[in-house]
Amino acid sequence: MRPGHVAAVSVVAAVLGGVLVLAVAKAAGWLDPSTSTTVVREPAAAGLASPVVVAKPLAGNGFSPARIYRERSAGVVTIFSLFSANGTPDANAGQGSGFVVGRDGTVLTSAHVITTAGEGAAAIAPAHAVYVEFPDGDRVQARIVGYDVFDDVGVLRVDPRAHPLAPVPLGNSSLVVVGQPVAAIGSPFGNVDSLSVGVVSAVHRSIPSLTTNYDLVDAIQTDAPINHGNSGGPLFDSRGRVIGINAQIRSTGDTSGFEGVGFAVPIDSAKRSLAELDAGGKVHYAFVGITTEDLTPSIAKKFGYAATRGALIDGFANGDPAGKRAGLRAATRLEVFRGESVHVGGDAVVAIAGIPVRNAEDLVRVVAERLVPGETATFTVVRGSRRVNVPVKLDERPQ
């Protein structure tokens, strides 16, 4: 673990030498009267055209941890990141996990394993040198292709001639259900090539980030033991397909240990990050500049909203954000209702670009995953008893 990492926080990154960066947000953008086109990004596909993964899902419907380990552990690697200027080992060295996804030497990991994300620096910097160690102990140098600090995804590439590669197949995290068995392989506390098993405890979790003001939605919660050093490693389903990247544990007090609650970045989000990083070295997220909370049937009835589900607009980001320019309306007062504070009097977003919005997480999900910066999307909002369509030009999310 790199020095300066404070273990007394309630959410800690599952990496030796890295702190958590998980990402996705509360959105923002502004009105462009001359534009009326909405571009909707297609949801992440179940597979990738590039890099090519030759491994096939394991046959059968049973869950065999021994078989998953036997067939997939060769594709899981340990990652060593050096942050000294001359690339020599020092107290700032970090260690995490990763996995090979292509015959071209592409390796997926967590962004915080290969950068200073989460260390409190004014600007995020990549490691000066990164090495990938295979299960047989052979270590090769890797090149950083790029990193997405919002989704906590890092992409490396090694020379495919430097070591035999065993790519693992990527699954579809949108099909993951609570209760299904999972297996994690990684290097907890430097114990390379370790297996742990459990079940999916929850899906569609929204996780706070220690490094940005944005949250990650759709995270997979698991009770499979995840500890420091597991970060960046794969979470497999019963057929040996990667459904998530292990990234975060939640603990209490200053223990910083695993207490039955771990989280993985959904592989569908990681696929998009991989594709955009591979194409241009950066992942682009749309941004609206509003903060929201859930509209529920009880709140709607109490405060006169003509919709039972949606995202109540609490307020706007600092400055002159897009949502405000577009004419969206924020809450005008704070009320206490049934033991909780509720911001009311503003718009309730019920759809974006025709896509239903049932809560605050839906709004983040649609803006971050389906919309494109620079385009104009129609926000359908409820203002008391009326429905209003508001065109909003989407900005790009700031760091």
* Catalytic residue ranges: 112, 152, 231
What three-state secondary structure class fits 363? helix
Q: Which residues pair with 81 in a beta bridge?
A: 94, 130
Its sign, for the CA torsion 174, 177, 286, 280, is negative
Q: What are the phi and psi torsion angles at 369 (to 5°)? A: -105, -20
Rounded Cα distance between 100 and 135, Å, is 12
How many angstroms separate the Cα of 204 from the Cα of each of 60, 148, 149, 221, 303? 27, 20, 19, 8, 28
Tell me the C-alpha to C-alpha distance, in Å, between residue 98 and each of 76, 94, 166, 188, 199: 6, 13, 13, 12, 21
Tokens read off for 354: 């025709």
The residues near 70 (Cβ < 8 Å, ≥ 6 apart) are none
**Nearest alpha-carbon partner for 166 in 56, 101, 75:** 75
User: Is the previous residue joined to 51 through a cis bond, with omega within 30 degrees of 0?
Assistant: yes
Token pair 């497999």 is at which residue?
Answer: 236
Using a CB cutoff of 8 Å and minimum separation of 24, what contacts does 278-283 make?
A: 278/50, 278/51, 278/106, 278/145, 278/146, 278/155, 281/145, 281/146, 282/146, 283/146, 283/148, 283/150, 283/151, 283/153
- Return the structure tokens found at 157: 């590439």
CB 374 within 8 A of CB 393: yes
170: nearest Cα among 269, 281, 78: 269
Tokens of 38: 């909405």
